[in-house]
Copies of this chain bind each other. A is one copy, B any other.
Amino acid sequence: MRTSIATVSLSGSLTEKLTAAARAGFDGVEIFENDLLTAPLTPEEIRARCADLGLTVDLYQPLRDIEAVPAEVFARNLRRARHTFEVTRRLGGDTVLVCSSVDPAAVDDDALAAAQLGELADLAADFGCRVAYEALAWGRHVSTYDHAWRIVEAAGRPALGTCLDSFHILSRGSDPRGIEDIPGEKIFFLQLADAPLPAMDVLQWSRHHRCFPGQGGFDVAGLVRHVLRTGYAGPLSLEVFNDVFRQAEAGPTAVDARRSLLTLQEEVTLRDEGMLRDEGMLRDERLPHEEATPGAESTPREEVTLQEAAGVAGPPAAAVPTGFAFAEVVTPDAEPLAGLLRALGFARTARHRGKPVDLWQQGEARILVNTGAAVRRDGTRLAAVGLESPDPAGAARRAEALLAPVLPRRRAPGDAPLDAVAAPDGTELFFCGTRPGGWRADFEDTGHAFASTDVRHIDHLALTQPWHHFDEAVLFHRAVLGLRAEDSVDVADPYGLRRSRAVSNADGTVRIALTVGAAPTDDTVHAQHIALATDDVVAAARRFRDAGGRLLPIPANYYDDLAARFEFADGELEAYRELGILYDRDEHGALRHCYTRTVGRVFFELLQRDPGHRGYGARNAPVRLAAQHAAQTHAGV
* Interface residues, chain A, with chain B CB atoms under 8 Å away: 1-6, 8-12, 16-17, 19-21, 23-28, 30, 58-59, 137-138, 164-173, 175-177, 179-180, 182-185, 187-197, 199-220, 222-224, 226-227, 229-243, 245-251, 253-255, 257-258, 260-261, 264-265, 279-283, 309-312, 403, 490, 492, 495-497, 518-521
Question: Which chain B residue lies CB-closest to A169?
Answer: B223
**CB–CB A30/B193 < 8 A:** no
Given known pairs A4-B238, A9-B253, the reply for A195 and B171 (CB within 8 Å) is no
- Chain B residues near A19: list those with CB within 8 A: 250
CA distance A231 to B183 in the complex (A): 7
- Chain B residues near A250: list those with CB within 8 A: 10-12, 16-17, 19-20
Q: Report the minimal beta-carbon distance from A105 to chain B, rounded to whole angstroms.
A: 19
- Chain B residues near A245: list those with CB within 8 A: 9-11
- Chain B residues near A212: list those with CB within 8 A: 193-194
Question: Could you say which of B17, B214, B237 contacts A3, with CB atoms under 8 Å apart?
Answer: B237
- Chain B residues near A165: list those with CB within 8 A: 239
Question: Which chain B residue lies CB-closest to A17?
Answer: B250
- Chain B residues near A232: list those with CB within 8 A: 184, 187, 190
- Chain B residues near A175: list those with CB within 8 A: 279-280
Question: Which chain B residue lies CB-closest to A194?
Answer: B216
**CB–CB A203/B246 < 8 A:** no
**CB–CB A24/B234 < 8 A:** no
Question: Could you say which of B137, B206, B243, B403 contacts A206, with CB atoms under 8 Å apart?
Answer: B137
What 6 A-B pairs are tightest by C-beta distance, nearest first?
Answer: A184-B231, A200-B200, A197-B217, A194-B216, A20-B250, A4-B237
- Chain B residues near A229: list those with CB within 8 A: 180
CA distance A403 to B245 in the complex (A): 38
Q: Report the minimal beta-carbon distance from A209 to chain B, rounded to whole angstroms.
A: 6
Given known pairs A194-B211, A211-B195, A213-B193, the reply for A1 and B311 (CB within 8 Å) is yes
Question: Could you say which of B183, B217, B233 contacts A194, with CB atoms under 8 Å apart?
Answer: B217
CA distance A231 to B182 in the complex (A): 9
- Chain B residues near A3: list those with CB within 8 A: 235-238, 258, 261
- Chain B residues near A204: list those with CB within 8 A: 200
Pairs across A and B, CB under 8 Å, 14 listed = A5-B257, A9-B238, A11-B247, A26-B258, A138-B206, A166-B220, A167-B239, A171-B202, A176-B226, A190-B237, A193-B211, A194-B260, A243-B496, A243-B497
- Can you tell how many copies of this chain the complex includes? 2
Question: Which chain B residue lies CB-closest to A201?
Answer: B138
Given known pairs A5-B254, A205-B199, the reply for A237 and B192 (CB within 8 Å) is yes
Q: Report the minimal beta-carbon distance from A12 to chain B, rounded to whole angstroms.
A: 5
- Chain B residues near A2: list those with CB within 8 A: 234-236, 311
**CB–CB B403/A171 < 8 A:** no
Q: Report the minimal beta-carbon distance from A44 to chain B, rounded to whole angstroms.
A: 23
- Chain B residues near A189: list those with CB within 8 A: 234-235, 237
- Chain B residues near A264: list those with CB within 8 A: 192
CA distance A213 to B194 in the complex (A): 5
**CB–CB B195/A59 < 8 A:** no
Q: Report the minimal beta-carbon distance from A362 to chain B, rounded to whole angstroms.
A: 38
- Chain B residues near A25: list those with CB within 8 A: 258, 403
- Chain B residues near A1: list those with CB within 8 A: 235-236, 265, 309-312
**CB–CB A248/B196 < 8 A:** no
Q: Report the minimal beta-carbon distance from A195 to chain B, rounded to whole angstroms.
A: 4
Given known pairs A223-B166, A227-B187, A521-B521, the reply for A171 and B239 (CB within 8 Å) is no
- Chain B residues near A203: list those with CB within 8 A: 137-138
CA distance A176 to B234 in the complex (A): 18
CA distance A8 to B226 in the complex (A): 26
**CB–CB A226/B192 < 8 A:** no
**CB–CB B199/A200 < 8 A:** yes
**CB–CB A190/B224 < 8 A:** yes
Question: Which chain B residue lies CB-closest to A241?
Answer: B8
CA distance A312 to B26 in the complex (A): 14
CA distance A360 to B282 in the complex (A): 63
**CB–CB A281/B237 < 8 A:** no
CA distance A520 to B467 in the complex (A): 12
Question: Could you say which of B9, B137, B196 contacts A240, with CB atoms under 8 Å apart?
Answer: B9
Q: Report the minimal beta-carbon distance from A472 to chain B, rounded to whole angstroms.
A: 12
CA distance A203 to B200 in the complex (A): 12
Q: Report the minimal beta-carbon distance from A71 to chain B, rounded to whole angstroms.
A: 29
